[in-house]
Amino acid sequence: MSQAVGTTLSLKDYLQQQQASEQLQSVLFSLTEACHSIHHALTKGALAGVLGAAGAENVQGEDQKKLDVIANDLIKDSLGKNPSVRGLASEEEPEIVACQTDGQYLVTFDPLDGSSNIDINSMVGTIFSILESRGEHAATEQDFLQPGRQQVAAGYVLYGPSTMLALSVGNGVVMFTLDPSNGDYLLTNNAVTIPEDAKEFAINMSNQRFWHPAMQRYIAELLEGAEGPRGKDFNMRWVAAMVADVHRILCRGGLFTYPWDSRKPDQAGKLRLMYEANPMGFLVEQAGGEVWTAAGKILDIQPEHIHQRVPVILGAKNEVLRCVEYHGNA
């Protein structure tokens, strides 16, 4: 659960308290400043003409929204000017973007997770991951292919009734709330933890018939409630934006999964390892939760390419491990 704080620290104060390097601080400031601009674009909505489709597909073969493109450009422009960024990779870009040859960090990001929710004024967010760069040369895709455990920082900005930043620099998870009057991110939760047990789960039930039998068994038992083998009732929640579903888990516990399904048997999953699973996995583990595929821990995966997909099971430790056990791999 999240613990509210009485004394409010700014993001800058917190990072200095954590002894983050000046270079890492500058990268995080570039990201959060861009997210402040995205916040403004979202709050204007139809008044600014930013809703609706962009009329193109991204590298994932998904229809882009206008705000997908706007958010991507805002973050790419902000990071591209930062002397500490050697390269960036975006879910919306087909290739990595090389920046400063002597930059110390690589950044991957999903500029607007859950963008299908934009036109109904529902929650969306920006997810990011920061890795150390290797050497002093123009960034290549190979430089980015580091297991999730090598992340030095990760987080997301959730655009909801208030705009919030969830962040880990490897010392637990904290949350900040954006003060829109001045652009400051102020610490509002300083001890985010995920309880080991849960009574909520998030999954897209419309795909049930396509899941692996082990996943069907696990979810069926949850749905049987107090009368079934689990002996208690569960609530199902589904926002259709990973950033919002994971935010709920960090705030009050639960389980989120987007499993493999048989419609595309050769595609490991829907979610992207580098842009979604690794940064969210870093946060969840730092908050005491577990993050797996059906076959192993996500943060241990050696990436093969920047747009790699994986199935995801994350959240409350005991629920995740039970689900994985049903697949025969816990």
> Which residues does residue 315 pair with via DSSP β-bridges, in sequence order?
255, 290
| Residue 12 in marked binding region | no
263 phi and psi, to 5 degrees? -65, -35
Residues 3, 31, 98: CA angle, nearest 5 degrees = 140
| Residue 84 in marked binding region | no
Beginning with the edge strand found earlier in the chain, give each strand of the sheet holding 255-258 in spatial order: 235-236, 200-202, 255-258, 312-315, 290-292
To the nearest 10°, report the CA torsion of 264, 269, 275, 280.
160
- How far apart are the C-alpha atoms of 264 and 262, rounded to whole Å? 5
For 227, other C-beta atoms within 10 Å of its C-beta total 8
Helices (H) and strands (E) counted in the chain, each on its own, are: 8, 17
| Residue 204 in marked binding region | yes
| Residue 114 in marked binding region | yes
Phi/psi class of residue 135: alpha, beta or left (left: φ > 0; alpha: ψ in -120 to 50)? left
| Residue 285 in marked binding region | no
If you ran DSSP here, which 8-state letter would residue 276 be given?
I
| Residue 225 in marked binding region | no
| Residue 319 in marked binding region | no
| Residue 116 in marked binding region | yes
Tokens of 193: 């933890």
| Residue 197 in marked binding region | no
Tokens of 44: 């204007």
| Residue 102 in marked binding region | no
Q: Are 51 and 30 in contact (CB under 8 A)?
A: no
- How far apart are the C-alpha atoms of 230 and 224, rounded to whole Å? 8
Q: Residues in the chain, how many?
A: 330
Binding residues: 91, 110, 112-116, 204, 270, 276
Annotated binding site for substrate: 113-116, 204, 270
Known binding residues for Mg(2+): 91, 110, 112-113, 276
